Chain A
Amino acid sequence: MSGTGVGSDRRVYRHALPTRLSHWLAALCVLVLVMSGLQIFNAHPALYWGDRSDPGRAIVRLRAGEAPDGGTRGITEIGGRAFDTTGILGASRDGGEVVERGFPSWSTLPGEQWLAMGRRWHLFFAWLFVLNGAAFCAWALGRGHVARDLWPTARDLRGIPHSIADHLRFRHPTGEAASRYNALQKGAYLAVLFILAPLIVATGLGMSPAIDAAAPWLPAMFGGRQSARTVHFAACFAFVAFAGGHLFMVAVTGVWNNLRSMITGWYRIDPSEEEAPLADD
C-alpha cells in the first residue's frame, strides 16, 4: 500500500480495482439473490431434512391461521412449536389486507407472489455471482491479495482475544493500523469467500435434478435434496448476518471514508489519530 500526504491528512491506496468492482457486483448479486430466493421459498414456505418433504415433518414452516377476531394471523412453526408472527412471517400485508405469505412482500423480488419471475432473477444473478466470485478468487489468489492482505499472520492470531475485546468496546484501529485488515476482519472475509460462498453454490446446485443425476454425491453430502435446500436457506441467512455486521462496522468506522475507499480505492488516515495508542500493539 502506498501512502501520500494530502494537506493535513494522509491517504493510502487501500482497495485495488478488481476488489472494488467485484465487491459492488457481489453486493448487488447478494441483494437480488436473497430477495428472489425468499420469493422462491414463499412457493413452499417450509424446510425439511433428508430427501423428502413429508407433510408434518417440517423443521420450520410458515403458515397462516385464523385469528380470534376472524382475521388472518401468521404462524411460524419451529420444531413443532408455533409462534405468532403476524405481519412479518406466515401472513403479512400485501396491498391493503393481511394475506397468507411466507416472507413479506417488501423482502421479496418481485414483491407480489410470482415464482416464475423470482426464478429468472435468481438463476441469472446466480450465474453472475459465481462468475464474479470465481474471477475475484482467481485474481486474489494469483496476485497475492489473499496471501498478503487476507491470510492472518502469526501476530494476527495471537491478537485475536484482544481484537475481540476491542470490537466489543467499539474501539477500532485508527491511523496506520486502519490501513490493513484486523484479525476478525480477515477471518470474516476468508470465511465468506472460501466457506460460505462455496457452500451456498453447492447447496443450490444440489437442488438441481439434472446435477443430481450426474453427481448424486452432491445432495447426499448434505443428507438429501431437502437438506441441501435447508442448508442453502441457512447459508442465505449467514450472508444476511454477514452483510448486517459488515454494514454496521462500515457505519461505526466512518461511512464516507469506507465508502470512498471502496469506490476510488483511497482511504484517508487522520494523522491526529495516528498517535493514539493502538490496542493491538
Chain B
Amino acid sequence: MRTTRTSRRQFGTGILQLLGASLLAGCDQLSQSDWVAAVLDRAEGLTRGAQTAILPRRALAPEFAESQRSAVFPGNGTIAPSESLYQALARGGFADYRLEVDGLVTRPARLSLADVRALPSRTQITRHDCVEGWSAIAKWKGARVAALLDHVAIVPGARYVVFRCFDALSEGGDTYYESLDLDDARHEQTILAYEMNDRPLPVTNGAPLRLRVERQLGYKMAKYVRRIEVVDHLDAIGEGRGGYWEDRGYEWYAGI
C-alpha cells in the first residue's frame, strides 16, 4: 500500500513538472502566434468599451498642487532628435517653426508658435503615467486641441486626429506618430503643451510642442509635434494601428 502511494506520488509529481514545463514553453510559443495575439487583443476592445460606458466622458484627470511636482521630469523615448530639419529649427529657437494642420478640415493652417500661443490655453498640474510603470508630475501650459480643431473647422465625417512628429526613435527608422478619437482630442485637458513648469518646453520633453492626453498612458502624448492631420480612418498611416508603439503591439486605447 505504502509503496504504491509513493510511486503514485512520484508519478504525479513528474506529470505536474512536465505540465509546468510544457506550459511555459507553450505560452512562449503562443505569444508568437497571430491568432493568440488576436484573441488577447479582444481585451482592448472590452476595456475601451467598459471604460467608455462607465466613465463620464468629461471626467478630468486628477490635478495636483505645485508642491507635488517631480523635481526632475524624465525624458523617455527620443530625448534629442537628430533630424537636421529639427536641429536647424531648434538652433533658431523655433522662430521658423510652423505647425501644419490639414486633412479633413475646412481651413488648413500653418501656425507659428505665436499663433499657437494665441489660441485658448489651459494650465494643469497632472501626473504622467508611463506604460513602463513610472509616474511623474509636472505643470503644463498649452493650446487646447479643441480650440485648434475649431480654428481649422473639421468637416463632418472626420473621426481621428493624427499627430505626426519630427523624431524617429532609431536612426533612419519610422517617425513617431499618434492618434486620438475626437472625444479625447476635444477633452478639456487635451492640450498641445508649449510650457512645462512655467518655462518653455525643453527639448528633452518634446519642444516646441507636445501632446498632453491626461487620461491615457505616456506613449499617447507625442513629443516634437510637426503636423496635425484630421482623418476618417487610420488604416493608411504607418502599419494602420494608429501610432508608432501601436504598430509595435501596444494598445491604441491606452486608458489602462
Asked if residues A210 and B256 are in contact (CB atoms below 8 Å), the reply is yes
Q: With A115-B132, A212-B61 known to touch, is A225 a contact of B127 (CB < 8 Å)? A: yes
Tell me which residues across on chain B come within 8 A of A116, comparing CB atoms.
245, 248-250
Asked if residues A51 and B127 are in contact (CB atoms below 8 Å), the reply is yes
Asked if residues A32 and B70 are in contact (CB atoms below 8 Å), the reply is no
Closest to B126 in A: A209
Q: With A116-B250, A117-B249, A256-B8 known to touch, is A52 a contact of B255 (CB < 8 Å)? A: no
Closest to A28 in B: B23
Tell me which residues across on chain A come within 8 A of B41, comparing CB atoms.
120
Q: With A43-B133, A52-B136, A115-B131 known to touch, is A109 a contact of B72 (CB < 8 Å)? A: no
Tell me which residues across on chain A come within 8 A of B60, comparing CB atoms.
213
Q: With A120-B249, A209-B215 known to touch, is A226 a contact of B27 (CB < 8 Å)? A: no
B141 shortest CB reach to chain A, Å: 20
B170 within 8 A of A: no
Tell me which residues across on chain A come within 8 A of B74, comparing CB atoms.
55
**What total of chain A residues lie within 8 Å of the partner, measured CB to CB?**
46
Our count of residue pairs bridging A and B at CB distance below 8 angstroms stands at 130
A161 shortest CB reach to chain B, Å: 31
Closest to A259 in B: B12
Asked if residues B62 and A212 are in contact (CB atoms below 8 Å), the reply is yes
Closest to B25 in A: A111
> Whole-angstrom distance between the alpha carbons of A272 and B245 in the complex?
64
A24 within 8 A of B: no
B214 within 8 A of A: yes
A232 shortest CB reach to chain B, Å: 10
> Whole-angstrom distance between the alpha carbons of A205 and B248 in the complex?
24
Asked if residues B71 and A120 are in contact (CB atoms below 8 Å), the reply is no
B135 within 8 A of A: yes
Q: With A114-B31, A120-B37 known to touch, is A209 a contact of B61 (CB < 8 Å)? A: yes
> Whole-angstrom distance between the alpha carbons of A257 and B136 in the complex?
52
> Whole-angstrom distance between the alpha carbons of A55 and B134 in the complex?
10
Cβ contact of B44, chosen from A46, A54, A123, A226, cutoff 8 A: A123
> Whole-angstrom distance between the alpha carbons of A46 and B217 in the complex?
18
Asked if residues A214 and B255 are in contact (CB atoms below 8 Å), the reply is no
Cβ contact of A208, chosen from B12, B71, B134, B256, cutoff 8 A: B256
Asked if residues A109 and B31 are in contact (CB atoms below 8 Å), the reply is yes
Asked if residues B214 and A213 are in contact (CB atoms below 8 Å), the reply is yes
> Whole-angstrom distance between the alpha carbons of A124 and B41 in the complex?
8
Asked if residues B40 and A120 are in contact (CB atoms below 8 Å), the reply is yes
Q: With A52-B137, A116-B248 known to touch, is A44 a contact of B132 (CB < 8 Å)? A: yes
Tell me which residues across on chain B come within 8 A of A121, comparing CB atoms.
27, 31, 40
> Whole-angstrom distance between the alpha carbons of A219 and B137 in the complex?
15
A106 within 8 A of B: yes
A233 shortest CB reach to chain B, Å: 10
Tell me which residues across on chain B come within 8 A of A114, comparing CB atoms.
31
Interface residues of A in 187-231 (CB under 8 A from B): 205, 207-214, 216, 219, 225-226, 229
B49 shortest CB reach to chain A, Å: 11
A271 shortest CB reach to chain B, Å: 14
Q: With A116-B250, A121-B40, A123-B44 known to touch, is A210 a contact of B51 (CB < 8 Å)? A: yes
A124 shortest CB reach to chain B, Å: 4
Q: With A111-B28, A225-B129, A255-B12 known to touch, is A213 a contact of B215 (CB < 8 Å)? A: yes
Asked if residues B133 and A44 are in contact (CB atoms below 8 Å), the reply is yes
B10 shortest CB reach to chain A, Å: 10
Q: With A212-B62, A225-B127 known to touch, is A256 a contact of B12 (CB < 8 Å)? A: yes
Return the CB mask of B51-88 against A: 1 if under 8 Å, else 0: 10011100111101000101110100000000000000
Tell me which residues across on chain A come within 8 A of B250, comparing CB atoms.
116, 119
A41 within 8 A of B: yes
B51 shortest CB reach to chain A, Å: 5
B199 within 8 A of A: no
Return the CB mask of B230-256 against A: 1 if under 8 Å, else 0: 000000000000000100111100011
26 intermolecular pairs with C-beta atoms under 8 Å apart: A31-B23, A40-B133, A52-B127, A53-B135, A54-B71, A106-B24, A109-B31, A114-B31, A115-B132, A119-B131, A120-B41, A120-B249, A121-B27, A123-B40, A127-B43, A205-B256, A209-B127, A209-B255, A210-B256, A213-B61, A213-B62, A214-B56, A214-B59, A226-B134, A226-B135, A255-B12
**Interchain residue pairs A-B with the least CB separation, the first 3:** A210-B255, A116-B249, A44-B133
Using a CB–CB cutoff of 8 Å, the interface residues on chain A facing chain B are 31-32, 35, 40-41, 43-44, 46, 51-55, 106, 109-112, 114-117, 119-121, 123-124, 126-127, 205, 207-214, 216, 219, 225-226, 229, 255-256, 259
Using a CB–CB cutoff of 8 Å, the interface residues on chain B facing chain A are 8-9, 12-13, 23-24, 27-28, 31, 37, 39-44, 46-47, 51, 54-56, 59-62, 64, 68, 70-72, 74, 127, 129-137, 214-217, 245, 248-251, 255-256
| Extra 7 A-B pairs, beta carbons < 8 Å, given A114-B31, A209-B256 | A43-B131, A44-B130, A44-B133, A52-B137, A117-B249, A120-B43, A123-B251
